[in-house]
Chain A
Amino acid sequence: MIRLENVTKTFDSYMAVDNVSFEVPEGEICVLLGPSGCGKTTTMRMINRLTELSSGRILIGGRDIMEVGATELRRGIGYVIQQIGLFPNKTIEDNICTVPDLLGMDRKASRKRAHELLEMVALDPAVFAKRYPKQLSGGQQQRVGVIRALAADPPVLLMDEPFGAIDPINRAVIQDEFLKLQSALKKTVIFVSHDIDEAVKMASRIAIFKSGKLVQYDTPDNILAHPVDDFVADFVGGDRTLKRLQLVKVADAMQADPPRVLAETPVAEALALMQKHDHQSVVMTGPRGRARGLVRRAQLQGAQGMVGDHYERIPCTIQVDDTLRNAVSMMFSNDQTWLACVDQDGFYRGYLTQRGITHLLGATYRDA
């Protein structure tokens, strides 16, 4: 969708961007990452021609950007900057409709769309549409900055550290909101950041820059698992393996099809099952498979009757679509060596052990 071919930018004699080529497929978020001054902003601004290329080509949807007039090109590309840049003399809805108005789109329709977009980022149009930017908090302004870029429904979005000026808690909320928007709108996004955690969270692909050169272009998991050199390894951080935890879903790391018992299973049968799997405990499910409780080997030893007479509460369960990062955090905070994994309806789907996690994260290094 967006394709850079041998793109170079020199300021006087200084090479800000040096022979960079990469391609962002449609609907993906590409995060440009790297230390200050490495050329991320310059690379991004060449795509909407706020900075002119020195050499090379940029194609959007197969079309060279130089074939279109600069203003026409920009009206077809959403643009979000760290300083937000809302027009203080315009109301929020007029700000959002800047590009639709420039394009001469129907006013009524564009205001309606503006209100929908406001709702999508949890800002009540009845309250905010007629306000002025100075009457909004920084986080609220940043949300408006993002939806303003979406108002004319451009296929491509350029975002230069859009959440850089927001406090960490609000930033996480806006990132989540943006990912939700993106899953509905499927824009092709180029996103500049210098925060590896943000990149790992947002990106389908990460492009790592070092003094104007593209040093690695890959999926977040591959960047974390296989950094091409010491620079990338250093940049992503010594805890890069831990960072991968937030990329992997519980469902991918758990032991599926786990052994289970029912309330009416005899104690002896439950003990035999645990012995067979070498487990210290086993989950008891309801008749249709919902996780109901657990029994421990030590407790059942020498006991009589059925499992239903001896079970206890499960201390904590994790959702299968949660991240490993949350799973590990739950293990540590509850002092558990394993977690029962359930789906949204509470059905028991598998279990996750510390050893399983270690094995999974270690696998990429053993293969390599």
Chain B
Amino acid sequence: MMKGAHLANFSMQALRLAGYALIFLAGVWFHSSGALEAMGAYGEDIRYLTVQHLQLTAISGALAIVIGIPIGVLLARRSLGVLGPVVAQVVNLGTTIPTLAILALAMTVMGLGTPPAIFGLTVLTLLPIVLNTIAGIKSVPPALIDAARGMGMTAWQILWKVELPYALFVIFAGIRTALAINIGTVPLAFLIGGGGLGELIFTGIDLMEPGLLLAGAIPTAALAVAVDLIGAQAQYWLVPKGINPLR
């Protein structure tokens, strides 16, 4: 446990450092590519699109959490018999569907605009949350449930007081993964009219203007790093001490 925690801590720090290094290198290149001027010139657009980008992430992420955790809890029920694992496997298969395909499907059904973008993003973000919730709940030792039942807890009380707290750390890990995927995918939402920083990136590509492209890409990367940092802090502080391997 302790060893694993150290390892996780270490790899997380390494990742973070690598992230900073990347940002720095990007900065150097970006200076020489004329991106600075571009960012200056598009400052207003960047600000507007970043807010839009974050809105897409916040809405789809919140929806995914609110929908994903209950689905995961449901699929982890032992009373479901074989149905639980079967559905979980289907969900697992879902993770292999390419992002663009999901967005394209959402578009064919719902048309262009923000709603299909949010729908597609929600579906994508849902999967890791559902899978981690299932894994977290399944990892609760049967003896713990037995003790809880033997002391007179109802099924609801066992879920709230025993299973969810026990699974919380793993669920949090799922949420962090999901949000990282989400932020990185939001630019694609532009393709179906969802807005966000993808507008700058794809316009940059179309016009073969690296400055413009970077003006979209760099804030996107920075957002991903920032959101993960916030997620890490939330995971550290919100998961109770007794079951938090980081504390």
Q: Are A134 and B143 in contact (CB under 8 A)?
A: no
Complex partner residue of B153 from A71, A86, A134, CB under 8 angstroms: A71
Within 8 A of A (CB), among B100-156: 141, 143-144, 146-154
**Chain A residues in 8 Å Cβ range of B157:** 102
Q: Are A48 and B144 in contact (CB under 8 A)?
A: no
CB distance from B98 to the nearest CB of A (A): 38
Q: Are B243 and A88 in contact (CB under 8 A)?
A: yes
Known: A83-B143, A134-B242. A88 touches B166 (CB 8 A): yes
Complex partner residue of A89 from B141, B147, B151, B165, CB under 8 angstroms: B165
**Chain B residues in 8 Å Cβ range of A313:** none
CB distance from A141 to the nearest CB of B (A): 12
**Chain A residues in 8 Å Cβ range of B165:** 87, 89
Q: Are A102 and B166 in contact (CB under 8 A)?
A: no
Q: Are B242 and A91 in contact (CB under 8 A)?
A: yes
Q: Are B242 and A74 in contact (CB under 8 A)?
A: no
Considering only CB atoms, which chain B residue lies closest to A48 in the complex?
Answer: B150
Q: How far is the CA of A98 from the CA of B152 in the complex (A)?
A: 10
Q: How far is the CA of A76 from the CA of B152 in the complex (A)?
A: 8
Residue interface mask A122-165, B partner, CB < 8 A = 1: 00000000001110000000000000100000000010000000
Does A356 make an interface contact (CB < 8 A)?
Answer: no
Q: Are B151 and A102 in contact (CB under 8 A)?
A: yes
Q: How far is the CA of A99 from the CA of B157 in the complex (A)?
A: 12
CB distance from A158 to the nearest CB of B (A): 8
Q: How far is the CA of A79 from the CA of B149 in the complex (A)?
A: 10
Does A81 make an interface contact (CB < 8 A)?
Answer: yes
Known: A50-B146, A81-B147. A89 touches B152 (CB 8 A): no
Known: A79-B147, A132-B241, A133-B242. A72 touches B166 (CB 8 A): no
- For chain A, the count of residues having a C-beta within 8 Å of the partner chain is 27
Q: Are A85 and B143 in contact (CB under 8 A)?
A: yes
CB distance from B159 to the nearest CB of A (A): 13
Q: Are B143 and A90 in contact (CB under 8 A)?
A: no
Q: Are A81 and B146 in contact (CB under 8 A)?
A: yes
Residue interface mask A241-283, B partner, CB < 8 A = 1: 0000000000000000000000000000000000000000000
Q: How far is the CA of A183 from the CA of B147 in the complex (A)?
A: 25
CB distance from A76 to the nearest CB of B (A): 8
Considering only CB atoms, which chain A residue lies closest to B143 in the complex?
Answer: A83
Q: How far is the CA of A132 from the CA of B162 in the complex (A)?
A: 14
Does B240 make an interface contact (CB < 8 A)?
Answer: yes
Q: How far is the CA of A69 from the CA of B151 in the complex (A)?
A: 13
Does B161 make an interface contact (CB < 8 A)?
Answer: yes
CB distance from A75 to the nearest CB of B (A): 4
Within 8 A of B (CB), among A64-78: 71-76
Q: How far is the CA of A158 from the CA of B157 in the complex (A)?
A: 22
**Chain B residues in 8 Å Cβ range of A134:** 1, 242
Complex partner residue of B242 from A81, A89, A98, CB under 8 angstroms: A89
Known: A89-B240, A133-B242, A134-B242. A71 touches B144 (CB 8 A): no
Q: Are A71 and B154 in contact (CB under 8 A)?
A: yes
Q: Are A85 and B242 in contact (CB under 8 A)?
A: no
Known: A74-B151, A99-B152. A87 touches B161 (CB 8 A): yes
Complex partner residue of A98 from B141, B146, B151, B168, CB under 8 angstroms: B151
**Chain A residues in 8 Å Cβ range of B161:** 87
Q: How far is the CA of A50 from the CA of B142 in the complex (A)?
A: 13
Q: Are B166 and A75 in contact (CB under 8 A)?
A: no
Q: How far is the CA of A72 from the CA of B148 in the complex (A)?
A: 13
CB distance from B4 to the nearest CB of A (A): 13
**Chain A residues in 8 Å Cβ range of B151:** 74-75, 79, 98-99, 102, 148
**Chain B residues in 8 Å Cβ range of A133:** 242
Q: How far is the CA of A50 from the CA of B149 in the complex (A)?
A: 8
CB distance from A74 to the nearest CB of B (A): 4
CB distance from B79 to the nearest CB of A (A): 16
Q: Are A74 and B147 in contact (CB under 8 A)?
A: no
Q: Are A74 and B149 in contact (CB under 8 A)?
A: yes
CB distance from B235 to the nearest CB of A (A): 14
Within 8 A of B (CB), among A282-311: none
Within 8 A of B (CB), among A55-112: 71-76, 79, 81, 83-91, 98-99, 102
Known: A87-B144, A91-B242. A81 touches B150 (CB 8 A): yes
Residue among B144, B150, B154, B162 with max Cβ neighbours from chain A (10 Å): B150
Known: A102-B153, A102-B157. A85 touches B240 (CB 8 A): no
5 contacts between A and B (CB under 8 A): A74-B152, A85-B143, A102-B153, A102-B157, A134-B1
Instruction: Enumerate the 10 nearest inter-chain pairs by beta-carbon distance, A residue then B residue, closest first.
Output: A85-B147, A132-B242, A75-B152, A83-B143, A79-B150, A74-B152, A89-B165, A89-B240, A71-B152, A89-B243
| Contacts A50-B150, A83-B143 known; 10 new A-B pairs at CB < 8 A | A50-B149, A71-B152, A75-B151, A79-B150, A79-B151, A83-B146, A87-B162, A87-B242, A99-B151, A148-B151
